[in-house]
Amino acid sequence: QKEVEQNSGPLSVPEGAIASLNCTYSDRGSQSFFWYRQYSGKSPELIMFIYSNGDKEDGRFTAQLNKASQYVSLLIRDSQPSDSATYLCAVNMGFKYGGSQGNLIFGKGTKLSVKP
Amino acid sequence: GAGVSQTPSNKVTEKGKYVELRCDPISGHTALYWYRQSLGQGPEFLIYFQGTGAADDSGLPNDRFFAVRPEGSVSTLKIQRTERGDSAVYLCASSSGLAGGTDTQYFGPGTRLTVL
């Protein structure tokens, strides 16, 4: 059973703090990892992806991947109230047909609340 | 339009009826995906098209669900003999279809299906 696990939260942080969101996955063959943000009643929007071990930074966001531990995380620095949303971790299990990424397996999401 | 569009935005139907949900991907994107999302859950993969063909339909829950993409652009998800358990938000995504782990999916606004 391929699974992606996230703490459902809610995770509450004060404005300006660092929010740390975590995700574990079960399939060691997983190749690419994505973080999506979803506001209530809206569709998911991509924040960033990572596929190599280590850190990847994009503005206030840093994704961290540790394939040995099957763990991926998202750090949000200087959290703002506008960051309050559900954060979805998604994992690509590989390229079954030699073309695009096939399907994504999503976790249930972590709800983040940033308090002013 | 610049993004993925889906129609209708809301669909209310009665148990046992047939429904069609439409997705218009980003222009030039060869890959198209259907997911469904229930309340409090992450998106659940249904089917993935590369061009006109279904490259992976392993997520379709049963034979009441069917999807087509006859010209490699617009796709229609068809649900026969709807059941109350089919109620969810149906999300469509598209991607460029390039090989590689960075082929990211862009989601449409979704169709909220309610089966009474």
Beta carbons of B56 and A103 less than 8 angstroms apart = yes
Q: Do B99 and A31 touch (CB under 8 A)?
A: no
pLDDT for residue A98 is more than 70: no
Instruction: Please give the helix or strand (H or E) that residue A37 lies within, else none.
Output: strand A32-38
Q: Which of B33, B42, B103 sits opposite A107 (nearest CB)?
A: B42
Residues of B in contact with A36 (CB under 8 A): 107
- A22, two tokens: 């975590």
Given this model, what pLDDT does residue B108 score? 97
Backbone angles phi, psi at B8, to 5 degrees: -75, 170
Contact A52, B102 (CB under 8 A): no
**What average pLDDT score do residues B25-35 get?**
94
pLDDT at B50: 87
Pair A3, A105: CB distance under 8 Å: yes
Question: B residues 17-36 near A, CB within 8 Å?
Answer: 30-31, 33, 35
Tokens 């669909």 locate to: B11
Each residue of A45-83: pLDDT tens digit? 999 999 889 999 999 999 999 999 999 999 999 999 999
User: Which token pair is A25?
Assistant: 């996955």
Residues 6+ apart with CB under 8 A from A27: A2, A91, A93
Our CA angle for B72, B3, A109, nearest 5°, is 100
Of the pLDDT bands very low, low, confident and very high (cuts 50, 70, 90), residue B66 is very high
* CB contact A101 to B (< 8 Å): yes
Average predicted confidence (pLDDT) for chain B: 92
Q: What is the mean pLDDT of chain A?
A: 90
A27-40, pLDDT tens digit by residue? Answer: 887 788 999 999 99
Please state, in angstroms and rounded to a whole number, the distance separating the CA atoms of residues B63 and A44: 27
Percentage of chain A exceeding pLDDT 90: 74
Structure confidence at residue B104 (pLDDT): 82
Q: Which of A23, A47, A92, A100 best probes binding to B when mutated, by most B CB atoms within 10 angstroms?
A: A100
Contact of A25 with chain B, judged by CB distance below 8 Å, is answered with no
